[in-house]
């Protein structure tokens, strides 16, 4: 797809998301957090849903978790964050940062599918259980699922921990995330 058409379609999709009232999360949001980054990104990160900072700013991963994500992108992938695409399973903040409910994930899912269809990344990195389960439809948790590369709709998928879990738990999880990022980088740079 031509670049200008792709950008136009992403903008139209975003406009659609900004006025979405399909689930209860619209009523408590400050901003819809559609996603950000390059429309030609080779790597696409998927988080769970906006937190407080993201809700206030309308941008994904701009709080503490985002700082760690950005650091790992720069240190392990050796690219700028803006060269990646970053989005969440749900585009509006769940109250008190609770996990998004099944019906919220389902009603928001078409935005994420369309973002993936338009960006066409070489690799998707799912961050944590919610994103991994939403994309791969697996029952097992992230500890069991990670360390393997999966296929979803023709995309390669590398599941890893959520940066918030790594911040809570510390060094060990961050080291494991680094090794997942290195595997994602190989796919990202393969032809």
49 or 121, CB closer to ligand URA? Answer: 49
4 or 96, CB closer to ligand URA? Answer: 96
61 or 85, CB closer to ligand URA? Answer: 61
1 or 106, CB closer to ligand URA? Answer: 106
50 binds ligand URA (CB under 6 A): yes
| Minimum separation from the CB atom of position 13 to ligand URA (A) | 18
47 binds ligand URA (CB under 6 A): yes
Q: Find the Cα–Cα–Cα–Cα dihedral 151, 157, 162, 167, rounded to 10°.
A: 140
Q: For residues 78-117, which are near ligand URA according to CB under 6 A?
A: 88
By rule CB under 6 A, what string of x and - marks binding of each residue 55-74 to ligand URA? -----xx-x-x---------
| Minimum separation from the CB atom of position 88 to ligand URA (A) | 5
Q: Which residues bind ligand URA (CB under 6 A)?
A: 47-51, 54, 60-61, 63, 65, 88
């Amino acid at each position: 797809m031509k670049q200008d058409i792709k950008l136009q379609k992403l903008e139209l999709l975003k406009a659609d998301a900004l006025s979405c009232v399909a689930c209860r999360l619209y009523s408590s949001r400050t901003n819809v957090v559609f996603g950000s980054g390059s429309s030609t990104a080779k790597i696409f990160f998927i988080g769970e849903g906006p937190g407080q900072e993201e809700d206030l700013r309308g941008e994904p991963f701009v709080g503490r978790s985002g700082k760690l994500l950005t650091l790992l992108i720069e240190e392990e992938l050796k690219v700028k964050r803006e060269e990646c695409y970053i989005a969440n399973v749900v585009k509006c903040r769940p109250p008190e940062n609770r996990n998004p409910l099944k019906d919220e994930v389902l009603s928001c899912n078409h935005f994420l599918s369309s973002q993936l269809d338009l960006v066409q990344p070489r690799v998707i990195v799912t961050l944590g259980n919610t994103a991994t389960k939403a994309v791969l439809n697996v029952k097992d948790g992230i500890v069991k699922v990670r360390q393997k590369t999966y296929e979803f709709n023709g995309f390669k998928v590398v599941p890893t921990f959520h940066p918030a879990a790594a911040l809570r738990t510390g060094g060990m999880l961050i080291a494991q995330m680094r090794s997942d990022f290195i595997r994602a980088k190989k796919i990202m740079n393969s032809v």
